[in-house]
Chain A
């Protein structure tokens, strides 16, 4: 057992650190949940890509550096420690790209991945529907066969950043007569500016148009944009959710950096007599370290050829709860300034509150932990 990174990993860390120190914008970009912020973040993605930092774990032919997960984790530590902006491309990079690597054709990969890596095309996830949240397999949006492709109709919702994004990926019912709800679904990609698509931005809790509703009326999708076999959409989609909850959605580097910022806030704003608050700051330090170490252990298992399954649900519940606790402690330290909407911690706090809801609610994750990791009886779901 060993916690030290090899020399090449440390060299990679130093290279990332130097580049970030020279390029991270001195003043924070406007929120990526606004139109101007979205545009500014797109430019940041392009800059990252020009130095091949936008998708370090991808093969070089698609704009990456072909590095393994250990390098990626180290890169993320440097990225977040440097104060670099949030990633506007994250849905595509974290959710669609792994699916494409596993299930797409070479032609699709060559067509889709480079423009995703550069931020030229930003992707939205169109899975949820008004009637299908946790019970996603009940979805009713459909794709009907037509000459050379499919026609999409129905309604998708809560699609993050779809208000300003370019394209979307989602699952649609192609066989309404299939015997089970999760059969007869097809995974495909479509253009958010195609005829028949109406995008209605939805303000989230702080009013920013962070997600959108999509109304689809006979939107044409060519066969070339179907991922995998028609009818296999559920299986393909589920191979992506593991990624979402597991290693790639929330790198530990993000929380290590946030915990350090919290400790600094404690140093500047903390009341030494308030040991209850001091203890919560200590808990944030411990939690970030625990998450980092847990991730390293999983990464080591990956490197040893094992797969991570339901364990990713442990990850998801942990980071989402952790994130809220950390931000609540920051607000408590800020005292009367905590409620100022333009404060440094206000938007991250609002964002943290969604953690237990998206990427599979924590109730659903606990069911998975109980049934698949502890072997408890399957309940009604």
Chain B
């Protein structure tokens, strides 16, 4: 047992972190929210060049084989930087196509997704009805409860989320039938697990960004003649925020290592709650300036709650955890 990231895994995270630090991600987020996808797509292409999407596709279609641990490590960085777009959904679509066992759709869509030339969004049975960023994604996939994988012909009106950079739409019914049957249902289940796992990773990164920004602020903002970070009530709240995030991290690793539904649910629950708590702490400790959209902090603040609920709300995750434990006992 060596329960620590390998050098390669850490290197990959560092590469992404460097790339994202050198890009103006907040500008891309704001543009994305305003309907201008160009800066976001340019960022997307740079991310794809690191091999990010190849980690969710098989070798036969230019992927690296499914590498959940590396992908989750990468998604922590995407969350930390606040990258906009259907990232989780594109990776989940790649998993779906990889696991389908049907050559035609895989051959048709995977190479573009792996290369970052295309992106995808999707809805899966048992998950929410909305497709994220249907206006920006190249492909919109739907899987019905009966196990039909379709390419949706379009989507209904765009709705903005609490996080303006997340745009939601109901897929239109019908569309080209790509595959059907139990293999689709099984592949969709895997894809949903991966979507939950990668959202957990994004949550952790989001929480880390919120904490880091808040710690910096608490060190430089002075009131009553002293940095507010010296007040014990402030310190203790930040200590609790760190505690929440640090205990979510190993759950995320274990979920990525095992891909067991109970582990994934535990990771999503814990990372989602930790990120949301980090957001509430960030808001409170920034005071009124934290309550404005001008401050870049708002880009993460508004993401924390939707991400906590996307691809498995806390209550759904708790039910999944307990179900699995009861089965094991």
Of B219, B243, B266, the residue contacting A318 (CB under 8 A) is: B243
Q: Are the CB atoms of A1 and B322 closer together than 8 Å? A: no
Say yes or no: B229 contacts A289, CB within 8 Å: no
Q: Is the CB of B6 within 8 A of A296?
A: no
Name A369's closest neighbour in chain B (CB-CB).
B239
> Which residues of chain A (257-313) have a CB below 8 Å from chain B?
260, 263-264, 266-267, 275, 278-279, 281-283, 285-286, 289-291, 293-294, 296-297, 299-301, 303-304
A20 to B229, CA, bound (A): 50
Chain B residue with the shortest CB-CB distance to A317: B243
Contacts A290-B266, A377-B227, A377-B229: A263 and B235 contacting too (C-beta < 8 A)? no
Q: Across the interface, do B69 and A290 meet the contact criterion of CB distance under 8 Å?
A: no
Select B5's contact among A1, A263, A286, beta carbons within 8 Å.
A1
**Closest CB in chain A relative to B3 CB, distance in Å:** 4
> Is A291's CB under 8 angstroms from B9's CB?
no
Known contacts A2-B1, A290-B248; A281 and B232 CB within 8 A of each other = no
Residues from chain B with a CB closer than 8 A to the CB of A376 are 215, 218-219, 229-230, 234-235, 238
User: Which residues of chain A (51-108) have a CB below 8 Å from chain B?
Assistant: 70
B-chain residues with CB within 8 Å of residue A289 when the two chains form the complex: 251, 254, 263, 266
Once A5-B1, A290-B266, A370-B239 are accepted as A-B contacts, the answer to whether A285 and B247 lie under 8 Å apart by CB is no
Query: Digit string of A340-375 for contact with B (CB within 8 Å is 1, else 0)?
Result: 000000000000000000000001011101110111
Closest Cβ neighbor of B218 among chain A residues: A376
Report the stretch among B13-21, B130-138, B313-321 that lies at the interface: B313-321
The CA-CA distance from A289 to B258 in the complex, in Å, is 13
Are B1 and A4 closer than 8 Å at their CB atoms?
Answer: yes
B246 at the interface (CB under 8 A from A): yes
**A28 adjacent to chain B (CB < 8 Å):** no
**How many chain B residues have a CB neighbour from A under 8 Å?**
49
Q: A1-B253, A376-B235 are in contact. Are A285 and B2 (CB under 8 A)?
A: no
A314 in the interface, Cβ–Cβ < 8 Å?
A: yes
Q: Does A9 contact B (CB under 8 A)?
A: yes
A150 to chain B, nearest CB (A): 38
Asked if residues A6 and B1 are in contact (CB atoms below 8 Å), the reply is yes
Does B242 sit at the interface, judged by CB under 8 A?
Answer: yes
Q: Is the CB of B247 within 8 A of A294?
A: yes
Are B3 and A374 in touch, CB under 8 angstroms?
Answer: no
**CB-defined contacts of B227 to chain A, threshold 8 Å:** 377
Query: In the complex, A24 Cα to B227 Cα: how many Å?
Result: 56
A366-B236 Cα distance, complex, nearest whole Å: 5
- Give bound CA distance, A285 to B317, whole Å: 12
A379 at the interface (CB under 8 A from B): yes
Q: Is the CB of A370 within 8 A of B329?
A: no
A22 within 8 A of partner (CB): no
Q: A3 an interface residue at 8 Å Cβ cutoff?
A: yes
Question: Does residue B250 face the partner (Cβ distance < 8 Å to A)?
Answer: yes
Q: State in angstroms the CA–CA spacing of A136 and B240 once bound together.
A: 24
Residue B34 interfacial (CB < 8 Å): no
**Cross-chain contact A363 with B236 (CB below 8 angstroms):** yes
Q: How far is the CA of A2 from the CA of B69 in the complex (A)?
A: 11
Question: Nearest Cβ in chain A — how far from B315, in angstroms?
Answer: 7
Q: Please give, as numbers and ranges, the residues of chain B lying within 8 Å of A294 by CB-CB distance.
A: 246-247, 249-250
How near does chain A come to B88, taking the closest CB pair, in angstroms?
21
Whole-angstrom distance between the Cβ of A296 and the nearest chain B Cβ? 4
Complex Cα–Cα for A296 and B247 (A): 12
Does the CB pair A374–B251 fall under 8 Å? no
Q: Does B297 sit within 8 A of A, measured CB to CB?
A: no
- The CA-CA distance from A41 to B218 in the complex, in Å, is 50
CB-defined contacts of A293 to chain B, threshold 8 Å: 3, 250-251, 253-254
Q: Give B1-43 as 1s and 0s: 1 = Cβ < 8 Å from A's Cβ atoms.
A: 1111110010000000000000000000000000000000000
Q: Does A370 contact B236, Cβ atoms closer than 8 Å?
A: yes
Query: Quick check: B318 and A278 within 8 Å, CB to CB?
Result: yes
Residues of chain B within 8 A of A363, CB atoms compared? 232, 236
Interchain CA distance A260-B327 in the complex, whole Å: 12
- Bits for B52-92, please: 1 = Cβ < 8 Å to A, else 0: 00000000000000000100000000000000000000000
Nearest chain B CB to A233 CB, angstrom units: 28
Question: Are A314's CB and B243's CB within 8 A?
Answer: yes
Known contacts A9-B1, A286-B269: does B242 contact A369 (CB below 8 Å)? yes
Complex contact B3–A296 (CB within 8 A): yes
* Residues from chain B with Cβ under 8 Å of A366 in the complex: 235-236, 239-240
Contact A290 B251 (CB under 8 A): yes
Whether B250 lies near A286 (C-beta < 8 A) is no
Judged by a CB distance under 8 angstroms, whether B224 is at the interface is no
> Using Cβ atoms and an 8 Å threshold, which residues of chain B touch A283?
318
Residue of A nearest to B241 (CB): A374
The 9 A-B residue pairs with the shortest CB-CB distance in the complex, in nearest-first order: A293-B250, A370-B235, A282-B318, A369-B239, A377-B230, A366-B239, A376-B229, A296-B3, A366-B236
Given A2-B2, A286-B318, 9 further pairs, Cβ under 8 A: A3-B254, A260-B325, A279-B314, A282-B322, A290-B266, A300-B1, A304-B2, A369-B243, A374-B242
Instruction: Give 11 pairs: A residue, B residue, CB < 8 Å, sorted on A.
Output: A1-B257, A3-B3, A3-B258, A260-B325, A278-B319, A290-B250, A290-B266, A294-B249, A297-B4, A314-B242, A376-B218
